């Protein structure tokens, strides 16, 4: 099993990072929380959870152990697969999701696309009381944002809506629906950053 991969981030999108390590490029699926943590870095360490199937060998990466543990807990719930778990973790930061589950708040879970009443109830029943307390810290010391030329903060440009739409498609949403929601949000908040644009879109799709 791969515990983590440490190397150069040759490509970074809101849904995936390619990490070059010893001449090998690893495609690692990530959530928006991890994207935010890695977006100011050129290289670093990403914690890995492997999903091995007959037809695929998937790698899911996390900037913090807290988020990785939440992913594993979510995966233990019947009806929650890796992509659904990633969508949940993209909808709320780890500490907020931990609080939602700990307090038994069903409405925020139901608001996530693909999470119906029964699945939300299963998540709360299966995980409530099992999650350790979590501080409101989304990035560890090793992944705190630092100024970098790799991914500078910019005002909205033409690449932002396309990046958001591509990310939503990767998460399983129809392109037409993604385009409609993204355009609505941009019309309301022209300078919205791509990760926030995707988070808000997930709540509306």
29 occurs within a structural domain: yes
Q: Cα separation of 173 and 188, whole Å?
A: 21
Task: Domain of residue 181: give its range.
Answer: 159-204
| Per-residue pLDDT reduced to its tens digit, 58-110 | 999 999 999 999 999 999 999 899 999 999 999 898 999 999 999 999 999 98
Residue 36 pLDDT exceeds 70: yes
According to DSSP, the residues that pair with 52 across neighbouring strands are 57
Residue with the two structure tokens 């973790």:
89
103 occurs within a structural domain: yes
- Read off the pLDDT of each residue in 40-65 and give the average, rounded to a whole number: 93
Is there a single domain that holds both residue 75 and residue 102? yes
The enclosing domain of 113 has a CATH number of: 1.10.150.20
Is there a single domain that holds both residue 54 and residue 88? no
104 occurs within a structural domain: yes
Q: Cα separation of 102 and 98, whole Å?
A: 6
| Per-residue pLDDT reduced to its tens digit, 143-202 | 443 333 333 333 344 567 888 888 888 887 888 888 888 888 888 888 888 888 888 888
Q: What is the DSSP secondary structure assignment for residue 114, as one 8-state letter?
A: T
Structurally, the chain folds into a number of domains equal to 3
Is there a single domain that holds both residue 15 and residue 41? yes
173 occurs within a structural domain: yes
Output the 3-class SS for 84-116: HHHHHHHHCCHHHHHHHHHCCCHHHHHCCCCCC
Q: What separation, in Å, do the N-terminal and C-terminal C-alpha atoms of the chain show?
A: 35
Say what the pLDDT of residue 98 is. Answer: 93
Domain boundary among 127, 144, 176: 127
Is there a single domain that holds both residue 59 and residue 102? no
Say what the pLDDT of residue 99 is. Answer: 92
137 occurs within a structural domain: no
Is there a single domain that holds both residue 9 and residue 32? yes
Is there a single domain that holds both residue 59 and residue 69? no
Is there a single domain that holds both residue 38 and residue 75? no
Domain boundary among 43, 63, 83: 63
Is there a single domain that holds both residue 16 and residue 59? yes
Is there a single domain that holds both residue 74 and residue 114? yes
53 occurs within a structural domain: yes
Rounded to 5°, angle at Cα 67 from 113 and 34: 80
Is there a single domain that holds both residue 86 and residue 36? no
The enclosing domain of 8 has a CATH number of: 2.40.50.140
Is there a single domain that holds both residue 15 and residue 49? yes
The enclosing domain of 188 has a CATH number of: 1.10.8.10
C-alpha distances out from residue 141 to 14, 34, 138, 199, Å = 21, 14, 10, 24
């Amino acid at each position: 099993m791969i515990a983590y991969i440490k190397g150069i981030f040759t490509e970074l999108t809101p849904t995936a990072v390619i990490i070059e390590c010893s001449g090998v490029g690893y495609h690692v699926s990530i959530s928006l929380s991890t994207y935010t943590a890695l977006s100011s870095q050129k290289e670093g360490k990403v914690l890995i959870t492997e999903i091995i199937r007959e037809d695929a060998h998937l790698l899911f990466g996390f900037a913090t152990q807290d988020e990785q543990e939440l992913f594993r807990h979510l995966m233990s719930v019947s009806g929650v697969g890796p992509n659904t778990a990633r969508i949940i973790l993209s909808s709320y930061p780890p500490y907020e999701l931990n609080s939602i589950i700990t307090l038994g708040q069903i409405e925020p879970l139901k608001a996530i696309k693909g999470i119906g009443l029964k699945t939300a109830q299963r998540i709360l029943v299966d995980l409530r009381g099992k999650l350790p307390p979590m501080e409101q810290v989304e990035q560890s010391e090793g992944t705190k944002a630092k100024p970098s030329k790799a991914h500078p903060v910019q005002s909205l440009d033409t690449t932002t809506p396309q990046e958001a739409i591509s990310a939503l498609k990767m998460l399983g949403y129809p392109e037409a629906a993604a385009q409609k929601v993204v355009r609505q949000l941009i019309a309301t908040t022209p300078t919205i950053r791509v990760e926030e644009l995707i988070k808000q879109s997930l709540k509306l799709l």
